[in-house]
Amino acid sequence: MMYALKRSTRKSGHSVITTLPPDVMSKLELVSGDNVEFVIKDNVVELRKAAEKKEAVSQDFLKMAEEVLEEYDQAFRGLVDR
């Protein structure tokens, strides 16, 4: 189903802003504070919920690695000195 919703724009500081209607918020599963992205092709602008950036390494893994390094510190140093 396709339908159009109109919103006005207004000046806010050095930017021009608009609001998102509840239907759009719901469809995109957005909550206040979420990031969105605009995909522009020719004269069409598509609004999407921005993908969340995942951590390259989880905090749990980093904590576990730190614990292992501390526990086996002397063994690792001994291997280096060989």
Give 10-residue mean pLDDT values along the chain (82 residues): 90 95 94 94 94 80 89 84 72
How many angstroms separate the Cα of 28 from the Cα of each of 47, 59, 61?
9, 29, 32
Question: In one letter, which amino acid is 72?
Answer: Y
Give domain status of residue 45, yes or no: yes
Give domain status of residue 17, yes or no: yes
Q: For residue 37, what pLDDT is reported?
A: 95
Whole domain around residue 41: which residue ranges? 10-49
Q: For residue 74, what pLDDT is reported?
A: 85
- Angle subtended at Cα 16 by Cα 15 and Cα 17, rounded to the nearest 5 degrees: 115
Q: For residue 8, what pLDDT is reported?
A: 96
Give domain status of residue 62, yes or no: no
Count of domains for the chain:
1
User: At 46, phi and psi to the nearest 5?
Assistant: -110, 130
Give domain status of residue 54, yes or no: no
Give domain status of residue 25, yes or no: yes
Residues composing the chain: 82
Tokens of 77: 């140093």
Q: For residue 73, what pLDDT is reported?
A: 86
